[in-house]
Amino acid sequence: MDKNADGNITVEEIDTEFVTNYDHDGDGCVTMHEFTHQWNLDYHDDHHASEGMFHHLDITTDGCLKKDDLGMHHMAMDTDNDNTVTGAEFTAWLHHTCQDILLKENEYFCGNKPADIYILLDSSNSIWGPNFRTQINFVRNVTTMFDIGTNTTRVGVLTYNTDVVEEIGLEDFSNKGDLLTAISNIRQRGGYNTHTFEAIRFMRRRMLRNTADKRDNAAKIGIIVTDGQSSNVLLTVWEAAKTKRKGIRLFAIGIGGNTNSRELQGIASKPESDHVFEINNFDALESIRQILAVRTCEACSGDKNDIMIAIDSSSNVRNFEFDLQLKFVADLSKNMNFMKNTTQIGAIFYSNAVSSIIGLSESKVKHSLETRLKHVKRTHGRGRVDEAIRYIRTKGFRRSVIRKDATQIGIIITASPGTYIRKSKRQATKARETGIILIAVGIGDINTEELNAISGTMDGSLQYHFPSARFLSANLANIAYNVCKIDRNAVTAVSDKACGSRQEADFMFMLDGVNAGKTNTRKTLAFIQDLLKDVDVSPRKVRVGVMSTEPKCVNEFTGFDLNTYKRNKKLNRALEKFKGVDVAAVVKKLRQNMIARAKGGRKGAKKIAILFIDEGLEDPVKAFLEAERASIQGIEVYIVKIGKGLLQENEKVEQMVNDEGFKHQSFTENNIYHISNYDELPDIKREIWYNICDCKLNY
């Protein structure tokens, strides 16, 4: 473009180059066909950015690029404001513009099924002309994000004031380019009334009429845009109710301060939080484009997802980049169908250590995620991606918070050099083996090998790589949509896997055989055998030990250590021989050395002790004090108290259980089970099993 080779590109040079190269028929108007054909020749475009670039350059939105259209972008190219554009500035502008278009122009095939979408635009006299054009641009930008076609998504547009006009019918266009041009050509008709009710009625009848092009299997969606209250609120809500009863999903967008919130809520489908958008002005329409596109398409189509997001808080990340990650999490939760019965979202941040922002079970409370994100205090240090994945596997997706019919997905954002690639790969492999799908999001100078290690793919799927954190928002809808396109049939849910598959654990069972007697001790041992039936007992998964410190009660057999039995069969034979223990002494022994490495304990495994205490126990306070000390040392203690009167009247014990010192540790009233007799042990199996298969490690 620099015709005089002076190193600078002027507006005149831009216009001359543009007309010479792109206006093939010399009529002074470059059509989309002319532009895309020449662009693909000039830039060998394999990503189909040409169409997006055409719409970006077409400032007048008339479908025709004229002589000075490209020159109007001269100011954006001139980054140093010296009134000249260097070759480097032009190249940078071209690169960033293309990159932005590629990130934003994601096509949505609604929930992997066809969709018929009508957009209803208020064209009454209350809307200023430029604001109406803003509506048109919004409709065009939203439409750009859909996969338009006869068998995918069809879009129609109605305008309404006193009258209703079908500007574009559902059957009119199957080509996105032609549809966008038709949208750009819509003009404001004007009118003194706002007959929203007539527009909704017209849309319903059009969608339900029997024609050759009717698609019974298509999702039916209506988007109503208005800047004020309708002429008849009751009739509008009535028509909306009739429409929703016919299976048409309605969204309501209110612009400015003259709208009626109650009316918008009456128009929209339930829940209103997902279907009503109230924005301050027409310029804010663009801010809801991606959210609306995803919600309109029901990208997750009812699928249940448990999602944990890991945010990089290492020293490689600047404060504004950390804030952009937090914003990404907040916006992603708005894009997803963030409800108890569909999507749950939890979040952590990591550097040398891992810190929780919110767990899956906590995120069920409305606005809790948004509130937590506002109060995060970041850390610094190395970017331990491996620890983040380990935390997600062992704690974020523990059995008590995940849902059996939901897919567990971990999104790992990293901006840290791959110092611990081998460890990250090992932890990622463990996560995938337990049914977790990992998506890698790399920012900046990230080693592709680490992204491959996290995602477990070599073809670029399940991973993203952006130049900076600023690109997270631009690619938000793409990530949200692709999360929901994951092949769930290829994943085995953790709830279908043996206990111990997700987190290594050392279990110690302690029996109060002294007070229970022979018969009840056998019932307890049978319960333990049944409990361990679905536990993956092996040297690398779950190790099991039983304790006894009273040889006189058990003859020559006094229990066994964690590394004594490595398989279920031999473990069961040993349990058949076992007799009983003195509780307080055993807990003390456990606290001192029974979980030591020499006895089979492992540093990375969670430690769990389960005490079976009979009502004949003489000194429960002593036992509870030892349990408290064990808890302080990181051992997760559960107590099964058996008998109608045990501990209930002991005020000291009750005070200890409710003491803040106990609650600070993992040993609280939630760790205690009370049954009347040994025959009731099977009734608590499920609850105990889920607890011991969870992870409550102290990080």
Q: How confident is the model at residue 441 (pLDDT cuts 50, 70, 90)?
A: very high
> Which of 107-116, 288-297, 536-545 tops mean pLDDT?
536-545
Answer CATH for 505-692 from 3.40.50.720, 3.30.70.1350, 3.40.190.10, 3.40.50.410: 3.40.50.410
Q: What is the pLDDT of residues 19-50, one digit of tens each?
A: 667 777 777 787 777 777 776 666 544 444 56
Residues 381, 352: contact at Cβ < 8 Å? yes
Q: What is the pLDDT of residue 300?
A: 46
Round the average pLDDT of the chain to a whole number and report it: 76
Q: Which residues is 277 bridged to in the sheet?
A: 253
Better-scored residue on pLDDT, 215 or 89: 215
Q: What is the pLDDT of residue 156?
A: 93
Q: What is the pLDDT of residue 594?
A: 54
Q: Mean pLDDT check: name the lowest of 51-60, 171-180, 333-342, 480-489.
A: 333-342
The CA distance from 333 to 347, in Å, is: 11
Residues 646, 489: contact at Cβ < 8 Å? no
- In the predicted structure, residue 298 carries a pLDDT above the cut 80: no
- In the predicted structure, residue 487 carries a pLDDT above the cut 60: yes
Note the pTM of the prediction, 2 decimals: 0.52
The proportion of the chain whose per-residue pLDDT surpasses 90, expressed as a percent, equals 19
Q: What is the pLDDT of residue 260?
A: 86
CATH 3.40.50.410 maps onto the chain at 110-296, 305-496, 505-692
Residues 167, 130: contact at Cβ < 8 Å? no
* Mean pLDDT, residues 339-355 taken together: 82
Q: What is the pLDDT of residues 188-197, one digit of tens each?
A: 888 888 899 9
The CA distance from 339 to 520, in Å, is: 46
Tell me the CATH class for 110-296.
Answer: alpha beta
CATH 1.10.238 maps onto the chain at 8-104
Q: Mean pLDDT check: name the lowest of 62-71, 147-156, 171-180, 574-583.
A: 574-583
Token pair in block for residue 441: 């999001």
Q: In degrees rounded to 5, what are phi and psi of residue 427?
A: -70, -35
Count CB neighbours of 192 within 10 A.
Answer: 10
Residue 190 identity (one-letter amino acid): G
Residue whose structure tokens are 């499920």:
686
Residues 412, 388: contact at Cβ < 8 Å? yes
> Which of 21-25, 203-207, 254-258 tops mean pLDDT?
203-207
- In the predicted structure, residue 153 carries a pLDDT above the cut 80: yes
Cα dist. 453→429, 444, 501, 687 in Å? 8, 17, 20, 35
CA atoms within 13 A on the CB side of 307: 28
Q: Mean pLDDT check: name the lowest of 163-167, 503-507, 586-590.
A: 586-590
Q: What is the pLDDT of residue 551?
A: 40
Q: Does domain 305-496 have CATH number 3.40.50.410?
A: yes
* Mean pLDDT, residues 673-686 taken together: 88
Q: Which residues is 30 bridged to in the sheet?
A: 65
Q: What is the pLDDT of residue 596?
A: 67
Q: How far is CA 295 from the centre of its chain?
A: 14
The CA distance from 572 to 574, in Å, is: 5
Helix (H) or strand (E) holding 504: none
Q: What is the pLDDT of residues 600-631, one digit of tens each?
A: 767 667 788 888 888 777 666 777 777 777 77
Q: How confident is the model at residue 64 (pLDDT cuts 50, 70, 90)?
A: confident
- In the predicted structure, residue 413 carries a pLDDT above the cut 90: yes
Q: What is the pLDDT of residues 138-151, one digit of tens each?
A: 888 888 877 788 87
Residues 407, 306: contact at Cβ < 8 Å? yes
Q: Specify burial of residue 398 (Cβ count, 10 A radius: 0-12, 13-18, 19+).
A: buried
* Mean pLDDT, residues 578-597 taken together: 64
Better-scored residue on pLDDT, 330 or 623: 330
Q: Smallest Cα–Cα separation from 333: which of 308, 301, 316, 303? A: 308
Count CB neighbours of 634 within 10 A.
Answer: 14
Q: Smallest Cα–Cα separation from 182: which of 159, 157, 152, 213? A: 157
Better-scored residue on pLDDT, 471 or 159: 159
* Mean pLDDT, residues 245-266 taken together: 88
Q: What is the pLDDT of residue 696?
A: 37
> Which of 15-19, 174-178, 411-415, 467-471 tops mean pLDDT?
411-415
Residues 6+ apart with CB under 8 A from 9: 1, 2, 77, 84, 85, 86, 87, 90
- The domain 8-104: what is its CATH number? 1.10.238
Q: How confident is the model at residue 411 (pLDDT cuts 50, 70, 90)?
A: very high
Strands ordered across the beta sheet of 636-642: 559-560, 542-547, 505-511, 606-614, 636-642, 672-675
- In the predicted structure, residue 655 carries a pLDDT above the cut 70: no
The CA distance from 195 to 202, in Å, is: 11
Residue whose structure tokens are 């954006």:
76
Q: What is the pLDDT of residue 542?
A: 83
* Mean pLDDT, residues 445-467 taken together: 87
Q: What is the pLDDT of residue 438?
A: 94
Residue 541 identity (one-letter amino acid): K
